[in-house]
Amino acid sequence: MTPLPRFHRLPAERQEAILAVARAHFAQHGPASASYNKIIEAAGFSKTAAYQYFDGREDLLAAVLDDVLDRLLGVLGPWTPAHDEAGFWARLEAGSQALLAHLLAHPDDLALADAAVGRARGGAWLGWFGALVEDGQRLGFIRTDVDPALLAGATAAVMRAADEWALGALRAVPPTERAAPGGEQVWSLLRGLWNGGAADGGTGRAH
């Protein structure tokens, strides 16, 4: 389910404007409750015209969620192999901080992030974490006794929970006093997840 070809022939600025309006409505009212009629009215075209671009509400929602996922992955950038363990952790921390800053500045993306990842059924999102896990295994500090897909999913879940935790802490203070909470608790969780095999016969080594 994707936008009709005519939507993709619109100027990029117009496409972005339509998706931004729809994203705001879906974020505010929820993917299941936002009004299709109100969205297309706010976007500046009639219901008849809307059907030239989307088959209906669910088609528009799918386009919005795909766009949100693309935006999040664009902030992270592709995972690139690290030269060593220190470089790995530096890359992970930089990506985490960039994503946290983006979600703080774009609450609509935050509100729809879980739905966007869920629609993708993992897909490119879990692919990013799969590349991360594979790189850590190559460097020798992520366990190899657990299925890589399961380990990637668990890693993604920890990072998603960490984002929620950090955003909650940041919202609790005035903008001028904001500083991202220390990541050591998050890294400790990941080390426990990734190195669990060291204590029970797995091949991962302790960090």
Task: Residue 42: give its domain's CATH number.
Answer: 1.10.10.60
If asked whether residues 47 and 123 sit together in one domain, one would say: no
User: Token digits for 22?
Assistant: 């729809």
In a domain, 204, yes or no: no
Low-confidence ranges of the chain (pLDDT < 70): 1, 122, 169-183, 197-207
If asked whether residues 102 and 26 sit together in one domain, one would say: no
If asked whether residues 106 and 9 sit together in one domain, one would say: no
If asked whether residues 145 and 110 sit together in one domain, one would say: yes
If asked whether residues 35 and 94 sit together in one domain, one would say: no
If asked whether residues 82 and 177 sit together in one domain, one would say: yes
pTM over 0.75: yes
In a domain, 30, yes or no: yes
If asked whether residues 60 and 146 sit together in one domain, one would say: no
Identify which of 102, 112, 96 has the alpha carbon closest to the alpha carbon of residue 190: 96
Helix/strand/coil (H, E, C) string of 51-104?
CCCCCCHHHHHHHHHHHHHHHHHHHHCCCCCCCCHHHHHHHHHHHHHHHHHHHH
If asked whether residues 44 and 138 sit together in one domain, one would say: no
If asked whether residues 60 and 82 sit together in one domain, one would say: no
- Number of structural domains (the chain) is 2
In a domain, 203, yes or no: no
Range of the domain at 59: 5-66
Q: Convert the pLDDT of each residue in 24-79 to its tens digit.
A: 999 999 999 999 999 999 998 888 888 888 988 999 999 999 999 999 999 999 99
In a domain, 152, yes or no: yes
